[in-house]
Structure 1
Amino acid sequence: MMRSLPLSAVLAVTMAMAAIPAGAQQTPPAVDPAAVKALDDMSAYLRTVKTFEVEALTATDDVLDDGQTDQSTGRTIIVAQMPNRLFAETTSDRMSRTYVYDGKTFTLSARRAGYYATVPAPPTVRELADVLSDKYDLEIPLADLFLWGAPGWSHGELTSAIDLGPAVIDGTTCQHYAFRQAGLDWQVWIQKGDFPLPRKLVITTTDDEARPRHAAVYRWNLAPSVNDAAFAFTPPKGANRIILATVAQ
């Protein structure tokens, strides 16, 4: 058996990066207000981006029963028209999945296995993320990019926030920040200039002695050429439709 970086860890970072309150006062001494503001600016900017394509190269640690780590790598492509169109495809050495959302229905396809499932969906991508998590125990790939502004987190969760200085990710000049909260250390590299996009994210689970990590490097296209056909699902030849099981089931 293996234990992976828990979804709760990713969502905790998502909420932390999404809900930094503007003008927060009484910041703990270990938390640099400038680092917190950088997160706030990034999340505010991402909420203004309506159409985009992003590629993510990922590496995720699984932990074996004897404590040894097993890393898997993958690639995810997302095309989105906010608030209600999404196409995502993720491939790794272990699986391949396609996610299609047209504002009315959501389809999950496992092309290699020859199966797909389609269910009714809510009217926005952000609501879809909640439904998939709560009802089906599924996560939209790169869900953090769609959940900025989620309620329920305050900057008081952070025990450390520091600016590590400039860095270059894929030829793009960024500022490198590191944060710490209960059970998690995480880092984000934010593009400098007028387009404060996240270019890299690393999450380390610190309450597991193996300290498994998840890392993603993002490559952005803010002006993709897309139309409604990009968000329409056509079953592959020979694919079988199945029922998407709910958490209760």
Structure 2
Amino acid sequence: MEKIAQKFLDTSINRFAGASLALIIGLSTSTAALADEAYAKTLLKNMSDYMSAQKNISFSYDTILDVVTKDKQRLALAGSGTVAITRPDKLRGTRTSGFADLEMLFDGKTLTLIGKGKNIYTQVEIPGTVDQLLDTLRDKYNRPLPGADLLMSNPQDQLMSGVTNIKDLGSGVIGGTECDHLAFRKKDVDWQIWIAQGDRPYPCRYVITSKTIAGSPQYSIQLSDFKSGDAVAVDDFTFNNSTNAEKIELKDLPNAEDLPSNFVRGKAQ
């Protein structure tokens, strides 16, 4: 009987120890996940605070826009450009692809869009800050500036709205710069960001993946030659019509997007 009792006791202890170990592992995993999430939030806030604090910013960029055809072929359209900002209300940007060659100037009062290939331009009165310009371009004119979320005065507010899941994926290297790699989930999109390590935590790469369009197409922007503060060259944000470009209405300005003219937007699924 004593042997039977001892055997039962040993078995019970082993089961209890196993259950406790499983519980500890489970708690440790959960705690680690929460720690990673908190650290990821801190890294994103550091990036946001750094970008917000810069009066002058300039960089070059490369974009990839995925499109999915009716027969489910996934195509990648590439473009490049430059951006220069002097806060609170000055911006110059260029955008070049196989289907677009545009320049944008904003002096705090007037937005000028120049179609360089056809030597035409249009102007719209948009008095206000860079934030107001970016919102107006996206919401009123459906002409969002590439990486606009990263250029607002508080990028964290734009990026974190609606986020339901956060992951710290460790480090990666973008353009030779070691970065912290973070991943976030929202209802309609997943997005990832690579943030430069060190005392200049600027965004090196930003990728958005749609969850509402068949084929889950992505949009990505990769920054290079990032400069801030006194390292940014002095720029002129006023329009000088040195090429005698023809003035047209905004609706008549072609090549507003990185899409071929024979592409037609479908509905989200």
TM-score normalized with structure 2 length? 0.73
Are residue 225 (structure 1) and residue 233 (structure 2) matched? yes
SS at match of 1:88: strand
- Code of the residue aligned with 1:239 in structure 2: it is A
- Code of the residue aligned with 1:226 in structure 2: it is V
d(CA) in 2 for partners of 1:194 and 1:152?
22
- Code of the residue aligned with 2:56 in structure 1: it is T
Displacement, 1:136? 2.2
Asked if the contact 1:86/1:231 (under 8 Å) is kept, the reply is: yes
Select the residue among 99, 103, 122 that pairs with 1:98: 103
Deviations 1:16-39 (A, max 9, x none): xxxxxxxxxxxx969812112211
Asked if the contact 2:48/2:155 (under 8 Å) is kept, the reply is: no
Asked if the contact 1:42/1:198 (under 8 Å) is kept, the reply is: yes
SS at match of 1:126: helix
Select the residue among 230, 234, 245 that pairs with 2:240: 234
Are residue 124 (structure 1) and residue 129 (structure 2) matched? yes
Displacement, 1:216? 1.3
Asked if the contact 2:48/2:156 (under 8 Å) is kept, the reply is: no
Q: How many residues align?
A: 217
Are residue 185 (structure 1) and residue 193 (structure 2) matched? no
Asked if the contact 1:167/1:175 (under 8 Å) is kept, the reply is: yes
d(CA) in 1 for partners of 2:49 and 2:66?
30
Asked if the contact 1:116/1:235 (under 8 Å) is kept, the reply is: no
d(CA) in 1 for partners of 2:125 and 2:160?
36
d(CA) in 2 for partners of 1:89 and 1:63?
26
The structure with more strand, counted as a fraction of residues: 1
Over the matched positions of the two proteins, sequence identity in percent amounts to 33
| Structure-2 change in CA distance of 1:154 and 1:177 (3 Å) | closer
Select the residue among 49, 52, 66 that pairs with 1:47: 52
Which residues of 2 match residues 177-216 of structure 1 at below 5 A?
Answer: 177-216=182-221
d(CA) in 1 for partners of 2:146 and 2:250?
17
d(CA) in 1 for partners of 2:161 and 2:138?
25
The structure with more helix, counted as a fraction of residues: 2
d(CA) in 2 for partners of 1:239 and 1:154?
38
Partner of 2:19: none
d(CA) in 2 for partners of 1:44 and 1:135?
28
Displacement, 1:189? 0.6
Asked if the contact 1:76/1:141 (under 8 Å) is kept, the reply is: no
Asked if the contact 2:120/2:248 (under 8 Å) is kept, the reply is: yes
d(CA) in 2 for partners of 1:72 and 1:89?
17
Partner of 1:33: 38
Asked if the contact 1:109/1:115 (under 8 Å) is kept, the reply is: yes
| Structure-2 change in CA distance of 1:210 and 1:54 (3 Å) | same
Displacement, 1:140? 2.5
Asked if the contact 1:78/1:88 (under 8 Å) is kept, the reply is: yes
d(CA) in 2 for partners of 1:156 and 1:201?
16
d(CA) in 2 for partners of 1:74 and 1:204?
18
Are residue 77 (structure 1) and residue 82 (structure 2) matched? yes
Displacement, 1:47? 0.5
d(CA) in 1 for partners of 2:250 and 2:218?
29
d(CA) in 1 for partners of 2:157 and 2:48?
15
Deviations 1:36-67 (A, max 9, x none): 22112211111001101111111111121222
d(CA) in 2 for partners of 1:142 and 1:178?
16
Displacement, 1:209? 2.3
| Structure-2 change in CA distance of 1:216 and 1:151 (3 Å) | closer
Select the residue among 161, 164, 170 that pairs with 2:169: 164
- Code of the residue aligned with 1:205 in structure 2: it is S
Q: CA RMSD in A?
A: 2.4
Structure 1 residue ranges without an equivalent (≥5): 1-27
- Code of the residue aligned with 1:200 in structure 2: it is R
Choose 1 or 2 for highest CA Rg. Answer: 2
SS at match of 1:139: coil
Which residues of 2 match residues 143-158 of structure 1 at below 5 A?
Answer: 143-149=148-154, 157-158=162-163
Partner of 1:62: 67
| Structure-2 change in CA distance of 1:102 and 1:70 (3 Å) | same
SS at match of 1:61: strand
Structure 2 residue ranges without an equivalent (≥5): 1-32, 253-269
